[in-house]
Amino acid sequence: MAKPRLSINSKNYGAWSLRGWLICKLAGLDFEEVVIPTDDPASRAELLLIAPSFRVPCLYHNGIEVWDTLAIADYLHELDPERGLLPKTRGARAHCRSICGEMHSGFANMRAALPMNIKARRPGFLIWQGAQADIDRIMSIWRECLTAYKGPFLFGKKPGLADAMFAPVCTRFVTYDVKLDPVSAEYCRAVLAMPQMLEWITGAMAEPDEVLELDVEF
């Protein structure tokens, strides 16, 4: 049986790649990482052939092709629900899916104003009102979950789907020196200290200093 493969792009800039990669790691999937450079036309064309949606990673598992982070998560959860990607109770799973869906389709102002760039540091970065409203909503989601499920992760003691979905946000908040309330700041530290995140960040730091046209939401 062929080893599962996950296609991703830049580790420094690839927010959606990070989400898909973390989901696979947290699901305990032993997969081959296929990194597709996206800074030249030929490699962009190759990525379009590999992943039907250019913006997200694509998982190949047992002859099945799955793209989009939430689809990948649902697929892996069905394979092994005991891994804990989603919470055990129906109500908590509904809550988890709701906030993951909000992250998946929302926060456009923050995405535009604070693109993921793990290697960069922007102390004193000026955050405009639209992006700040998104940031405030994210912190509200985090506080609500951490209060309800007792932390240190959004749905309890172990990281899961929700933490994978918000992990790129944590990197953005560090990059752009975003001011957080104490609860949100502690949550960010917990996410960034995860062994899987440390592995990803190490890979991001090893990339070239500049990757043309990638300072966007991939």
H helices of 27-160, in order, are 41-50, 69-79, 90-105, 108-113, 129-149
What residue segments make up the domains of the chain, in order of their start? Answer: 5-82, 87-200
Do 142 and 183 touch, CB atoms closer than 8 A?
yes
Q: How far apart are CA 80 and CA 173, in angstroms?
A: 32
Q: Please indicate whether the domains covering 5-82 and 87-200 agree at the CATH topology level.
A: no
- The domain defined by 5-82 folds into Glutaredoxin (3.40.30)
Do 7 and 36 touch, CB atoms closer than 8 A?
yes
Q: How far apart are CA 83 and CA 27, in angstroms?
A: 6
- The domain defined by 87-200 folds into Glutathione S-transferase Yfyf (Class Pi); Chain A, domain 2 (1.20.1050)
DSSP state, residue 12: T
Q: How far apart are CA 100 and CA 79, in angstroms?
A: 20
**Torsions phi, psi for 126 (to 5 deg):** -80, 120
Do 93 and 59 touch, CB atoms closer than 8 A?
no
The tokens for 91 are: 């109500």
Residue-level pLDDT at 208: 82
The tens-digit pLDDT sequence of the chain (218 residues) is 689 999 998 899 999 999 999 999 999 999 999 887 655 455 455 444 544 445 558 999 999 999 999 999 999 999 999 999 999 999 999 999 999 999 999 999 999 999 999 999 999 999 999 999 999 999 999 999 999 999 999 999 999 999 999 999 999 999 999 999 999 999 999 999 999 999 999 999 998 875 544 444 54
Residue-level pLDDT at 56: 54
Residue-level pLDDT at 35: 85
| Helix axes 161-175 and 69-79, enclosed angle (nearest 10) | 140
